[in-house]
Amino acid sequence: MEENCLFAKMSKCYFGVEKVEYLGHFLSREGVSTNPAKVTAVKDWPLPSTLKQLRGFLGLAGYYKRFVKGYGGVAKPLTEMLKKDSFSWTPEAKNALEQLKELLITTLVLALPDFSRPFVVEVDASGTSLGAVLMQDHHPIEYVSRALSV
């Protein structure tokens, strides 16, 4: 580090620990997982009563979307509410909110990629969304999904 003029702040260095928190995630030998404190905030989030509150929820949930299989399809009724004059809580939107909360609090630990081993990409599509999973050894590394527009 000294040769390359790099410095470390000792209060932010960890040595010999099993798990490290980094950017709202936990990194461990098993892989990358969500921060339980952040996920609890999602679980306890009340039904948004304004557009701003809904955007706040979707922002927090969207940060963890790579941990949720099919995020785009599940969140679609909520993102539809962001359109002009579309903010109304239909049964479908309330169900999407609860389903998204449940998916976020029961997320898997994502594996860290090993670039010396082969990757597998599984894709799926329906009339409403597209999804893909990047995996190694049958363990997900990341999920990607998008809702389709009309």
Q: What is the DSSP string of the chain?
A: -TTTT----GGG---S-SEEEETTEEEETTEEEE-HHHHHHHHTPPPP-SHHHHHHHHHHHHHTGGGSTTHHHHHHHHHHTTSTT-----HHHHHHHHHHHHHHHTPPPBPPP-TTS--EEEEEE-SSEEEEEEEETTEEEEEEEEEPP-
pTM, to two decimals: 0.68
Report the Cα–Cα distance between both ends of the chain, in Å, rounded. Answer: 53
pLDDT at 66: 79
Task: Print pLDDT tens along the chain (150 aa).
Answer: 889 998 888 888 888 888 888 777 888 888 888 777 777 777 788 899 999 999 988 888 888 787 788 888 888 999 989 988 888 899 999 999 999 888 887 766 788 888 999 999 999 888 888 889 899 988 888 888 888 877
Rounded to 10°, the helix 36-43/91-105 angle is 160
